[in-house]
Amino acid sequence: MSDLKELKKIEKFSDQCMKCGFCSFFCPVYQEEKMEPSVARGKNYLIKQVLQGKQEFTEEMGDIIGKCLLCKRCAANCPSKTQIDRVVVGARAQMVKDKGLGFIKNFAFRKVMANKKAFGRYVKLAKAFQWMLPKTEGKIRHLPDFIKALGAGRNIPALAPVFFHDQMKPLYKTQDGQKPKMRVGFFMGCATDFIYPDLGFKLIDFLTKRGVEVVVPEDQNCCGAAIYFSGDLETGRILADKNIKAFKDLNVDYIVTACGTCSSTLKDYQKYLPDTEDQQKRYEEFEKKIKDSTEFVIDVMKVPLEDFKLRKEFEGKTATWHDPCHLVRYQNIKDQPRAILKALKGLKYVEMPNADLCCGMGGSFSVYHYDLTKKIAAKKMDGIKATGADIVVTACPGCMINLIDNVLQNKMTQKVYHFLELVE
Ligand code: SF4
Ligand code: SF4
C-alpha cells in the first residue's frame, strides 16, 4: 500500500483548484484533444481522487499525468493561481516511487545522464553512428521511420563534431586584460555541450569582451530537467548536489547559462526537489546565483542597448521572437530579449501572434506524443508565418530543435537562431 508521501507534499496546490475550467482555454493539449483528463482541472481531479483513496494509480492514470507539457499556461492564467506543474510533477514522483521508472528511463536517467562522463561516452558512441542517418538540410538529420521512439519522420540536429567540454578552457579572462568587473560560472547544459557548442563560446566571447571573467567547471552535470520533471526526484537531487558542488568553491558572483530550460531548472531545484530542510536551504542559496543569458546581459550587466551590434549576415532580415515556456512563465523573462532584438540596427523586429504559445516540445513529451507535438507546433508555425519573418529567434536549444523540425516539416523557409548567434 502506497504511503502517498509525494502526493501529500503537493496536496495544498491541488486544493487551490476551484474547478472553473478557465485553464481549458489555454492548455495546448486540451485544445487538441478536447478531453477533460487533458487539462489541469481534469488531472487535478484525478489526483485528488487518489489522495482521497477513491482511485488507484493505474497505468491509464500514468498516461494522463504523462500527457502534460508542463508549459504552465494553465497556471499563468488560473484565477486561483493553482500550481499545476507542482501537482503534475508530484504525481509523477509518486508514480515513480510506487511503480519504478521502467527499464529505459532507469538506464537513461540513472546510469547515463546522472554521470557526465558516462553521458559523454554514450553520446560519443551515438556520434560515431550518426553517419548512418540521412542528412536533410545543413546539420539537420531526418530520422527514418524505424526509430519510432523518437518519432517517425522527425528531423533532429546532428551532434557537434567536437563537444563543448572537449574544447573548453577552465578559465576565460577578460579580453582587455583588465581586472574583471564580475566573475561568473558558465553552466553549459547538455544541448550546448553536445549539439550547439558555439552558443557557449559566443556567450563567453560576449561576456569576456565586456569585462566579465568566465570560469567553466569541468565536473558540472546535466541540469536534470528531463529527469525530475519525469518524477525521478531522487536522481534529480543527485544531479542538483553534483552541480552545486561543481560551482561551490569557484568564488563566482553568478552562474550563467545559454539555455532557458537549464536556467529555469537550476533555479527551481528549491521548488521541486527538497526532501529535507538542509536541501531546501542549499537549493535556495544556489537559486540566487543563477541567471539566464538574456536576463544576465540586461538586468545584471546592464549592457546599454546601443552596445548590441548585429552580425553582418543578419543585416536586412526580419526577425520574430519565440518565448520559451521556461523563460516566459517559469522565469518571467520576456522583455529582455525583445529589447535586445528591437535595439539591433539593421534588423526589423515583428512580434509574433501567440509568441508565448508552447512550441509543443515539452522535453520527453515530444518523444512519447510526437503526433500531438506536431499539432501543437502547427499553431506556432501559423504564428511565425503571419509575421513574414525570415528568422525566428529564441534562447532555448530545446525549442530550437523543435522549431527547426516543424519549420522543415511544414516546408517553411524560416531559419531558427539563438539570440547569441545574432549579436557581436
Ligand atoms: S486549475 Fe485553475 S483555471 Fe483550471 S479549473 Fe482549477 S482553478 Fe480553474
Ligand atoms: S502545464 Fe500546459 S499542458 Fe499541462 S495542463 Fe497546464 S496548460 Fe496543459
CA of 81 to the centre of ligand 1 (A): 8
- The response to whether residue 87 sits with its C-beta less than 6 Å from ligand 1 reads no
Q: Which three cell numbers stand for residue 249?
A: 568553491
Q: Which of 20, 30, 87 to mutate to test the pocket of ligand 1 (most atoms within 8 A of CB)?
A: 20
Task: Tell me if residue 200 falls in helix, strand or coil.
Answer: helix
Which segments within 99-139 are labelled E, that is strand?
135-137
The DSSP 8-state label assigned to residue 298 in this structure reads I
Q: Which residue has the cell 552580425?
A: 311
DSSP string, 136-189: EETTEEE--TT-GGG-TT-EEEPPPSS-GGGT--SEE--TT-SPPSEEEEEE--
Ligand 1 atom with least separation from CA of 24: 4
- The response to whether residue 23 sits with its C-beta less than 6 Å from ligand 1 reads yes
Q: Which domains does the chain have, with CATH numbers?
A: 5-99 (1.10.1060.10), 164-300 (3.40.50), 308-422 (3.40.50.1860)
Q: Which three cell numbers stand for residue 406?
A: 516543424
CB 223 within 8 Å of CB 191: no
- The response to whether residue 74 sits with its C-beta less than 6 Å from ligand 2 reads yes
Residue nearest to atom 6 of ligand 1 (CA): 17
The DSSP 8-state label assigned to residue 191 in this structure reads H
- The response to whether residue 68 sits with its C-beta less than 6 Å from ligand 2 reads yes
CA of 97 to the centre of ligand 1 (A): 27
CA of 280 to the centre of ligand 1 (A): 28
Q: For residue 204, give the amino acid letter.
A: I
According to the model, what pLDDT value does residue 46 have?
94
How many Cβ atoms from other residues are within 10 Å of residue 64's Cβ?
19
CA of 60 to the centre of ligand 2 (A): 18
Using 70 as the pLDDT threshold, list the residues of the chain that sit under it: 1, 124, 126-152
Question: Which ligand ends up closest to the CA of 22?
Answer: 1
- The response to whether residue 185 sits with its C-beta less than 6 Å from ligand 2 reads no
CA of 84 to the centre of ligand 1 (A): 9
- The response to whether residue 68 sits with its C-beta less than 6 Å from ligand 1 reads no
Closest CA to 252 of 202, 221, 207: 207
CA of 70 to the centre of ligand 1 (A): 15
Q: How far apart are CA 193 and CA 186, in angstroms?
A: 11
Residue nearest to atom 2 of ligand 1 (CA): 78
pLDDT tens per residue across span 96-112: 998 888 777 877 788 77
Closest CA to 407 of 415, 398, 396: 415
Task: Tell me if residue 87 falls in helix, strand or coil.
Answer: helix
- The response to whether residue 28 sits with its C-beta less than 6 Å from ligand 2 reads yes
- The response to whether residue 40 sits with its C-beta less than 6 Å from ligand 1 reads yes
DSSP string, 327-361: HHTTS---HHHHHHHHH-TT-EE-PPTTTTS--S-
According to the model, what pLDDT value does residue 100 have?
83
How many Cβ atoms from other residues are within 10 Å of residue 97's Cβ?
20
- The response to whether residue 326 sits with its C-beta less than 6 Å from ligand 2 reads no
Closest CA to 274 of 264, 282, 285, 266: 282
- The response to whether residue 240 sits with its C-beta less than 6 Å from ligand 2 reads no
Question: Which ligand ends up closest to the CA of 17?
Answer: 1
- The response to whether residue 92 sits with its C-beta less than 6 Å from ligand 2 reads no
Question: Which ligand ends up closest to the CA of 40?
Answer: 2
